Amino acid sequence: MPLALSHAAAYMVNENVGCAEYLRRFNSSAARLDDLLPRDADTEGYGRQVAAALLLSLDVAQASEPVGLAVPVMRLAAVLDPAGHPRSLWASDAVIHYLSAQHPTAEDGEPRAVDPAQAQAALRLLHRYGLLVDHTQNGPRAVRLHAITARAVRECTPQAALPAVVKAATSGLIDLCEEVSGHDHETRAALHTNIDSLAEYAGDLLWQVRGYYLLRWAGHRLSQGTAVAYWQQLIGTSERLFGRPHPMTLAARRDLALALFRHRAKEAFAVLQEDFPYQDNRLVLEGQTPAAADPEAVNAIPLVEDTVTTRRQLLGWAHPATLSGQADLALLHWSHGHRTAAIDVLERSLTGYRTTLGPHHPRTISVDNRLRSWREQHRRRWWRRTRRPSAPTGSAETDGGVIR
């Protein structure tokens, strides 16, 4: 296996040992595999060679500076895309927290925190031993792990350790998704494939560690034809894990409706209409009274609010899609008489438009004009209310026969 030979060559160079001594150590390492990777688990017949070489190199790397980080780094990299992921992932708070939790404690028993510099040093260490590739010139795919090496790492990872690995990978990718620019297509493509790889390996576990937000981020970037099948699959998984009325299921169904809306509007409205009873039940549980309100208003406002929140989390507060959603939400509030809420939302949208598009952009000017108009109408309405004299309950307020 060329991959196993590359691990062996890097080991012999770094440890200054000859072929005979390496072969002795390799055979000793292979004997340990019976507990970690049973022979019948290697159906292709070549994974054990890679795994034995991997364990031998990992033993040395784990004991080298920075001590104790080689194994947790390899476990996390193994659930990501073999084609590569951004190096900045290893500076994210979630990944640093994960590495710190896996780090050996000091002699006095106190945990030793890991900093980004140590995480980067661990990558370079593993690069020297040929266990992964760390090349900054590769941009958003700077850190790569061979698919067979990744498989060997996953198969040798205890089940008890997997939740922490998946949680760290999920939270780290969420941080990158929130920071990436809408114009950075290369990084966004890399994040998309890494999300796909994580979802494939983690399965249902991904849904238990906020992975649903990653899945939605990925789904919002698909074409209309692909997105429909994607959201349908997500809905099926959510219903199986959490049930039909669960907020995650309802949110996925709203995403499906949005994907359908442009070309299959009737189907989109049918999806939303089917959710009305479930939305009403949620509102009743929250102490509200949907029966007294317009059913369309009850369901449309939470839909748009959820969309705006998701866009803000994944795209940023000043992204055009977030700002457009805020403007739509403001119009919805205004149309149903929620004037103060409408003005507050539109004010936030205007601030974002000025930041992103500039004060002279037509969209900025349009939002500014509407906001001025709403404020003026709101002031006049407030002035009329404050000028009214008190009147007996149930009687019309008149002045010389003229109803105010």
pLDDT at 40: 47
Report residue 294's pLDDT band, with 50, 70 and 90 as the boundaries.
very low
Tokens of 167: 């949680």
With b for 16 or more beta-carbon neighbours within 10 A and e for fewer, the 204-227 pattern comes to ebbbebebbbbbbbbbbeeeeeeb
Tokens of 72: 């947790």
Percentage of the residues of the chain whose pLDDT score is greater than 70: 81
pLDDT over threshold 90, residue 312 = no
Q: In this structure, are residues 306 and 284 in contact, taking their beta carbons and an 8 Å threshold?
A: no
Q: Which residue has the higher pLDDT, 209 or 199?
A: 199
Average pLDDT score, the chain: 79
**Tell me: the pLDDT tens digits for 45-64?**
555 667 777 777 777 888 88
The dihedral formed by the CA atoms of 387, 393, 394 and 395, expressed in degrees to the nearest 10: -50
Q: What are phi and psi of 217, to 5 degrees?
A: -60, -45
pLDDT at 122: 93
DSSP per residue, 280-323: HHHHHHTT--GGGS-HHHHHHHHHHHHHHHHHHHHH-TTSHHHH
pLDDT at 403: 26
Average pLDDT over residues 212-224: 85
pLDDT at 396: 36
Q: Per mean pLDDT, which range of 88-92, 246-250, 285-289 is the poorest?
A: 285-289
Domain ranges of the chain: 1-210, 220-292, 296-386
Average pLDDT over residues 390-403: 36
Handedness of CA 126, 130, 135, 141 (dihedral sign): negative
**Tell me: the pLDDT tens digits for 96-113?**
999 998 876 666 556 678
Which are the contacts of 116, defined by CB distance < 8 A and separation ≥ 6?
90, 91, 96
**Tell me: the pLDDT tens digits for 261-272?**
777 878 888 887
Q: In this structure, are residues 238 and 276 in contact, taking their beta carbons and an 8 Å threshold?
A: no
Taking CA atoms, 343 is separated from 162, 174, 299, 333, in Å, by: 47, 31, 20, 9
pLDDT over threshold 60, residue 289 = no
Which are the contacts of 331, defined by CB distance < 8 A and separation ≥ 6?
342
Average pLDDT over residues 78-90: 94
Percentage of the residues of the chain whose pLDDT score is greater than 90: 24
**Tell me: the pLDDT tens digits for 320-375?**
888 888 888 888 888 888 888 889 888 988 888 898 888 888 788 888 888 888 88
pLDDT at 387: 57
Q: What are phi and psi of 398, to 5 degrees?
A: -130, 160
Handedness of CA 23, 27, 28, 32 (dihedral sign): positive
**Tell me: the pLDDT tens digits for 144-179?**
988 888 888 888 888 899 999 999 999 999 989 888
Q: Which residue bears the tokens 């493509």?
A: 189
pLDDT at 385: 60
pLDDT at 80: 96
* Full-model pTM: 0.63
Pick 296-386's CATH classification: 3.40.50.300, 1.25.40.10, 3.30.50.10, 3.40.50.970.
1.25.40.10
Residue 253 half-sphere exposure toward CB, CA atoms < 13 A: 23
Average pLDDT over residues 131-151: 89
pLDDT at 170: 94
pLDDT at 171: 92
